[in-house]
Amino acid sequence: MRKYFHKKAGVSLVEMLIYIALLTSVTALVVNGLVSMSRTYNDLRLSKNITTSATGALTRMVYEIRQAQSVDADQSTFVTSPGELSLNTTPASGIPTTVKFYVQNGVLRVMTGGVDEGQITLSNTTVSSLTFNRVQNSISQAIKINLTLQSTVGTKTKTETFYTTAVLRNIY
């Protein structure tokens, strides 16, 4: 009688350990990649929040400074933080009014003619510091702005400082 040897189907213990090690390595790489992408996404959100707030706030302040006839020094707070800036301006309507920039509860706000127009920084961004410095000579005057913003996403916090100077154009 002839005996036929059948090849046994299945996986040996060594092969199984190799497959498990490979699968574990691939899973670890995928999880590490996802965690890294999540951190990068949060970093981008922080940068976007701060940059958007800084761009909007500085653009509005520089525009109003350039349109102003004068700075109301009595109603403004220079050199210290949080600073306040009060500008005397005449809009297209021809009626003289004041524009005031100030910080309230960590939010940069603007008031025109005594009416609060609202915040000009994003709600998820906090103003850590705002200082105005008045620079003047016999011909013109300028305002130097120092704005420090902070944003938090999850457990990560980012702070950036922005500087600019604007000359009052309507006085010379």
Q: What are phi and psi of 125, to 5 degrees?
A: -125, 135
Name beta bridge partners: 89: 97
Check whether 166 has a pLDDT greater than 90: yes
Does residue 135 lie in a domain region? yes
Assigned domain for 20 exists: no
Domain that holds residue 146: 27-171
**What value does the mean pLDDT take over residues 116-145?**
92
Predicted structure pTM score: 0.78
- Residue 15 in any domain: the answer is no
Note the pLDDT tens digit of each residue in 94-116: 888 999 999 999 999 999 988 99
Kindly give, in sequence order, each residue whose CB lies less than 8 Å from that of residue 6, ignoring residues fewer than 6 positions away.
Answer: none
10 assigned to some structural domain: no
pLDDT tens digits along 28-80: 999 999 988 888 888 899 999 999 999 999 999 999 999 888 899 999 999 99
Count up the domains in the chain and report the number: 1
The answer to whether position 2 is within a domain reads no
Average pLDDT on 127-134 reads: 95
Residue 15's pLDDT is: 86
